[in-house]
């Protein structure tokens, strides 16, 4: 699956109440939801600003020297996120640099890629063990720069993106050829403007398919109101986006069937026991090589506490089924529509039936850590990135599905 790694200067804090203890085994069979009705078309394509040119952008080849390997226990190495693709190979980043491991995360090699320094935002997305993308933006010196590697970070090609303004941008990789650029145009008072562009040639040329127009808050098919999460696409046209809006009993979730030109409300079958809620729809989860399956995590804030539900579709979003309820999910990962893990208040849960049943794992992770990320590559092999009480990053490895963990560093 595509594994995005994103750093935002605009940090969205989501506080998930933890007032109720999750039982050791949570079982709540859900009745499969009937097919949802055809989503309501909200609005035709909005008037867009001047689109990104479709002519080939300037490509600057960049050869990198092979740097010496850095040990994971070096004090300067503070990993923020990782993306492992097999038992040996993976990517990672700190707040300032990118890294690559060829020994399962025991040592990390810094990647030589030119990133602007002052006033810079960058996000990294990794499609597989060899292919990675970095979008960097100097907020005082646009446009943004797209750096692409197809050889594991040894060499990078750089493409200048004709952003209309210095914006925070993230890349969504569907395949080596099909890429989407998602731009945050700014947020205020519960609203957020965004823009979306698509490339069908691996990032060399771009066409803008959607953008909120400054001053126009009511005519776009994707509402200007509401905070947006990173979208996900199953192919070059079908995509989904979530977010939140301060409206009771409303799930902010939309779909597009034309690469973002038009957006449709996508209903989800909310469990009957959830009502009077405010919802936050996190970024949808898609799976590499599978253009049928999609998983949507939704956090519900209720007067009596909170609930967390995964909504699954095996038919490209035509029908949906809700998982059993969780109190909260601080970190989670699914490797397919059936198999996943959730970390919540020091407890690790797993499912093999799409979240209909959650089983507690008697894990060996320390009690005094804050787990940031779970990264499994198959039902047995996984990593956990955490921070200790001194805010130092720690990396753990499991080969038995999450029951026992060994510390890789420090």
Token digits of residue 232: 């996900």
Q: What is the pLDDT along the chain (410 residues), one digit of tens a residue?
A: 555 544 333 333 333 333 333 333 334 433 333 333 333 322 333 333 333 333 334 444 443 333 444 444 445 589 999 999 999 999 999 888 899 999 999 999 999 887 766 557 789 999 999 999 999 887 777 788 899 999 999 999 999 887 655 678 899 999 999 999 999 988 778 899 999 999 999 999 999 999 998 878 788 999 999 999 999 999 999 999 999 999 999 999 999 999 999 999 999 999 999 999 999 999 999 999 899 999 999 999 999 999 999 999 999 999 999 999 999 999 999 999 999 999 998 999 999 999 999 999 999 999 889 999 999 999 999 999 999 988 899 999 999 999 999 999 77
Tokens of 182: 């998602």
* Tokens at 60, concatenated: 């600057």
The closest alpha carbon to 187, from 53, 58, 9, 65, belongs to 9
Rg (CA), the chain: 21
CA–CA separation, 59 vs 57, rounded Å? Answer: 6
Burial (0-12, 13-18, 19+ Cβ within 10 Å), 62: middle
Could you identify the residue written with the tokens 């509401």?
226
Q: What is residue 72's DSSP assignment? A: T
* Whole-angstrom distance, CA of residue 324 vs CA of residue 172: 29
Cα distance between residue 293 and residue 305, in whole Å: 30
At residue 321, φ and ψ (nearest 5 deg) are -135, 135
Phi, psi of 259 (to 5 degrees): 65, 20
Q: How many CB atoms lie within 10 A of CB 243?
A: 25
pLDDT at 1: 53
Residue 35's CB is within 10 A of a number of other CB atoms, namely 10
CB 149 within 8 A of CB 139: no
Contact 37, 321 (CB under 8 A): no
How far are the Cα atoms of 94, 116, 177, 185, 343 from residue 354, in angstroms, in the given order? Answer: 32, 42, 30, 35, 16
DSSP for residue 315 = S
Q: Which residues pair with 209 in a beta bridge?
A: none
The torsion angle over the Cα atoms of residues 360, 361, 366 and 368, rounded to 10 degrees, is -10
DSSP for 166-233, written as a single string:
--EEEEEESSSS-EEEEEEEEEETTEEEEEEEEESSTTSS-EEEEEPPTT--SSSSS-SBSEEPPPEE
Q: Report the first-to-last Cα separation within the chain, whole angstroms.
A: 28
CB 146 within 8 A of CB 156: no
Categorise residue 122: left if φ over 0, alpha if ψ from -120 to 50, beta otherwise.
beta
Q: Which two tokens stand for residue 337?
A: 């529509």
Instruction: Give the Cα separation of 298 and 230 in Å (integer).
Output: 14
């Amino acid at each position: 699956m595509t594994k995005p790694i994103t750093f935002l200067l605009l940090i969205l804090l989501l506080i998930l109440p933890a007032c109720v203890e999750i039982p050791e085994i949570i079982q709540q069979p859900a009745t499969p939801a009937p097919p949802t009705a055809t989503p309501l078309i909200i609005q035709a394509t909005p008037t867009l600003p001047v689109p990104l040119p479709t002519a080939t952008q300037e490509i600057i080849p960049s050869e990198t020297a092979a740097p010496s390997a850095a040990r994971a226990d070096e004090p300067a190495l503070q990993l923020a996120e990782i993306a492992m693709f097999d038992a040996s190979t993976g990517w990672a980043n700190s707040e300032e640099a990118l890294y690559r491991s060829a020994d399962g995360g025991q040592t990390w090699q810094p990647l030589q890629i030119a990133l602007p320094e002052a006033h810079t935002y960058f996000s990294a997305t990794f499609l597989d063990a060899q292919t990675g993308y970095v979008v960097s933006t100097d907020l005082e010196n646009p446009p943004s720069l797209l750096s692409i590697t197809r050889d594991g970070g040894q060499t990078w090609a750089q493409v200048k993106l004709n952003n209309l303004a210095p914006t925070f941008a993230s890349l969504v990789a569907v395949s080596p050829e099909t890429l989407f650029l998602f731009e945050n145009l700014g947020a205020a008072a519960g609203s957020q403007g965004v823009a979306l562009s698509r490339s069908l040639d691996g990032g060399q040329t771009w066409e803008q398919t959607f953008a909120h127009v400054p001053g126009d808050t009511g005519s776009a098919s994707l509402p200007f109101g509401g905070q947006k999460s990173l979208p996900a696409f199953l192919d070059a046209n079908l995509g989904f986006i979530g977010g939140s809006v301060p409206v009771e009993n409303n799930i902010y979730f939309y779909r597009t069937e034309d690469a973002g030109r038009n957006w449709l409300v996508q209903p989800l079958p909310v469990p009957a026991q959830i009502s009077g809620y405010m919802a936050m729809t996190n970024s949808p989860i898609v799976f590499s090589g599978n253009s049928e399956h999609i998983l949507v995590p939704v956090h519900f804030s209720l007067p009596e506490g909170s609930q967390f539900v995964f909504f699954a579709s095996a038919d490209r979003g035509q029908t949906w089924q809700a998982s059993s309820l969780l109190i909260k999910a601080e970190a989670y990962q699914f490797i397919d529509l059936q198999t996943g893990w959730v970390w919540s208040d020091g407890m690790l849960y797993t499912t093999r039936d799409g979240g209909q049943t959650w089983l507690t794992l008697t894990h060996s992770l320390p009690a005094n850590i804050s787990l940031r990320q779970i990264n499994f590559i198959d039902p047995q092999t996984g990593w956990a990135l955490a921070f200790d009480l001194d805010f130092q990053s720690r990396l753990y490895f499991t080969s038995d599905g999450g029951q026992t963990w060994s510390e890789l560093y420090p």
